[in-house]
Structure 1
């Protein structure tokens, strides 16, 4: 019902851009962890496609889009090769990569929510899967790299919250019959801008009230 809010060719291009920058982040972590070329490729694929795979399996959209569109599967491999040979140069443009990553976050939280709703899920479940689409790959990346997922760390700038806001805007628009290309685009932009502000001003989620923890605090590098 809502899957064709955007022009299909434009949607496909945006998906590939989002997949590419997510794969770049996975590849860079693999390099920092001293993984070999196979490990770099695996982390690139998992980061880029993990959230969408999780969503598609849950909603029964099988085979998942990652395996029916060759572009979705090969784009992370291109990113992995780029980082394998040029990772010092890619590291130097990390700020630019982060901006595109924020754009991918905004896009995927919206498209993931819409697709879940089109497959019959309720509004709350659709929003949850929209969030999973946007951040699931990053969680899987960190787990495979033996890291505490950035999503769960207090010393990381807000990442899930912007995606939650974007997904919530979508389900509210569906609820009040106001979901259009314009309102969907507004949800994408809102999540994108919130993520940019979070990176710029280091916004973080609050920790437990009157917290008394003996765990050593690790400041972000």
Structure 2
């Protein structure tokens, strides 16, 4: 979605997306309930696309208090407004990512599946100037094999890191720039559908 938006802002931008999975969405394992407001703003005509992944609209919300003896249904009116999912869609996030990738490519975004960013590249002043992909064809013993290929350096005016929760590149940046200093630790939650 970020690549799409950047191309919408300036179609002349050259935008490259590295995807560590074999295809876009391969590492997105979960489903989600999605409010379509973001898609409405990004791609206002998305509903006319027969291939869009937003097929199952939420029709009913039920909230249960679970305990050792069973469950008790909580009344919907007692729940905060953000728990009301009417008008939202139940989706596979992998399918959403694959669909967005086709939209990005239609705009001219270059997507390279199977290439993970392995390290951040810096200039002499310590500013981020790009990333490098990992070397390919390394044998189990760590030595280059017959299909060895050195990783690529991808340099850009801007580098957007969007690798998910505390990914390896994000950890490098957090450490280098002390981004977690004097900050609350990250919080995680588990949702069950």
Q: Settle same-fold status: TM greater than 0.5.
A: no
- Relative to the length of structure 1, the TM-score reads 0.26
Point out the structure with the larger strand share: 2
TM-score for the superposition, normalised by structure 2: 0.29
Task: Work out which of the two has the higher radius of gyration on C-alpha atoms and give 1 or 2.
Answer: 2
